């Protein structure tokens, strides 16, 4: 009997994902784009990125939902999710891509690049003496699959690297702080704060006016996780007042960021359109196939998401 893996994604091409998956899947699994499913009852697996409302109702025999990405906030917040396990992607290439973007962002602020770009626009030779990496304190908020790798890369460059999570993590070169009470003291000491927290009911709006107020004057802020973790109006105010010296922002409360948004023109702010990291078919395919086989044989799933925690 053949099982079907149904695919749905707005931005990701079906053919590329099918071609990457076929060599890893047993012959008993057929992959179909959602609009080409011939037998909905045969669908046991769904590989999806933000499927439309009502999507899952079509497939009564679903046994596994695979989120085509790392962030599951939009999936776990739905009220039409079937009661089956949910897994996310966590592949090495995706982690490397994110870690390199975070490292770039940290270096951008640590090496005063916004200052030199502004000086260049004025045709001005404006020397600023470089500081040793060890004299710059970097706080990475969130030490998950992507956050831990990014923090480790930052530490490898010699930065005084700190991390924040709910529970302890053992990461080379990273001093880990845990729990709510540890956040404000960490923010108060960091020169660069990097947000890598998932969007959950517990983190929504967590970086608000009081969090930005707790940050050191002149600190820089990087957000590569989800815009809604940040109170954007509070961020704009902190940048406008000069309390924050700059920001590197990949994610926003509303995407695409509207052309009139004040963040576009604030000094020291770099805006990128949500691309710090993406799911890569070739490196993600083996773990997707592994989880499909686990369902077929009663094995253990990897990268499973907790609906209760929301990540
Ligand atoms: P994970 O889900 O693997 O880990 C989340 C981390 O955040 C964990 O360390 C967790 O702590 C910590 N955390 C969660 N809630 C809290 C809280 N209330 N207080 C303190 N710490 C908390 O996330 P990843 O590292 O894989 O990814 C992070 C986010 O990056 C994703 O959720 C996604 O939104 C975003 N992303 C953005 C992309 C982009 O292109 N911009 C691409 C891919 C992902 P603990 O370890 O103790 O459980």
Q: How far is the CA of 170 from the centre of ligand 1 (A)?
A: 16
The per-residue pLDDT string of the chain (311 residues; one tens digit each, 9 = 90 and over) reads 799 999 999 999 999 999 999 999 999 999 999 999 999 999 999 999 999 999 999 999 999 999 999 999 999 999 999 999 999 999 889 999 999 999 999 999 999 999 999 999 999 999 999 999 999 999 999 999 999 999 999 999 999 999 999 999 999 999 999 999 999 999 999 999 999 999 999 999 999 999 999 999 999 999 999 999 999 999 999 999 999 999 999 999 999 999 999 999 999 999 999 999 999 999 999 999 999 999 999 999 999 999 999 99
| Calpha distance 252→227 (Å, rounded) | 4
Domain spanning 3-91+279-297, CATH architecture: 3-Layer(aba) Sandwich (3.40)
DSSP-derived letter for residue 195 is E
Instruction: Find all residues with CB under 8 Å of 273, minimum gap 6, and list them.
Output: 250, 255, 256, 257
For domain 92-271, give the CATH superfamily: NAD(P)-binding Rossmann-like Domain (3.40.50.720)
| Calpha distance 111→32 (Å, rounded) | 48
ipTM confidence score = 0.99
| Calpha distance 109→205 (Å, rounded) | 24
Tell me the two tokens of residue 78: 């739905």
Q: Domain boundaries in the chain?
A: 3-91+279-297, 92-271
Q: In CATH terms, are 3-91+279-297 and 92-271 the same topology?
A: yes
CB of 152 closer than 6 A to ligand 1? Answer: no
| Calpha distance 73→56 (Å, rounded) | 17
Of all protein residues, whose CA lies closest to atom 32 belonging to ligand 1?
198
* Residues identified as active-site: 226, 274
| Calpha distance 50→227 (Å, rounded) | 17
User: Does this model's pTM top 0.95?
Assistant: yes
């Amino acid at each position: 009997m053949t099982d079907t893996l149904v695919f749905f994604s707005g931005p990701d091409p079906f053919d590329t994902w099918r071609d990457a998956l076929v060599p890893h899947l047993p012959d008993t699994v057929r992959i179909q784009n959602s609009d080409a499913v011939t037998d909905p009852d045969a669908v046991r697996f769904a590989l999806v990125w933000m499927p439309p409302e009502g999507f899952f109702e079509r497939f009564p025999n679903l046994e596994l939902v695979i989120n085509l990405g790392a962030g599951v906030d939009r999936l776990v917040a739905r009220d039409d999710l079937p009661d089956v396990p949910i897994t996310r992607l966590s592949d090495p290439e995706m982690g490397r891509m994110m870690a390199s973007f975070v490292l770039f962002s940290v270096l951008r602020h640590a090496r005063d690049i916004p200052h030199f770009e502004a000086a260049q626009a004025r045709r001005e030779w404006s020397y600023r003496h470089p500081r040793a990496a060890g004299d710059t304190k970097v706080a990475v908020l969130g030490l998950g699959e992507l956050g831990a790798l990014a923090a480790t890369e930052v530490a490898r460059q010699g930065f005084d690297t700190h991390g924040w999570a709910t529970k302890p993590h053992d990461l080379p070169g990273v001093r880990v702080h845990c729990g709510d009470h540890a956040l404000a003291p960490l923010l108060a000491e960091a020169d660069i704060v990097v947000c890598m927290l998932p969007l959950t009911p517990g983190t929504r709006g967590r970086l608000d006016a009081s969090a930005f107020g707790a940050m050191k004057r002149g600190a820089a802020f990087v957000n590569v996780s989800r815009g809604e973790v940040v109170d954007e109006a509070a961020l704009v105010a902190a940048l406008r007042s000069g309390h924050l010296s700059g920001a590197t922002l990949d994610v926003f409360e509303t995407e695409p960021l509207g052309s009139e948004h004040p963040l576009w023109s604030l000094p020291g702010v770099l805006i990128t359109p949500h691309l710090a990291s993406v799911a890569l078919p070739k490196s993600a395919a083996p773990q997707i196939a592994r989880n499909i086989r686990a369902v077929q044989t009663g094995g253990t799933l990897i990268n499973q998401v907790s609906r209760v925690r929301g990540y």
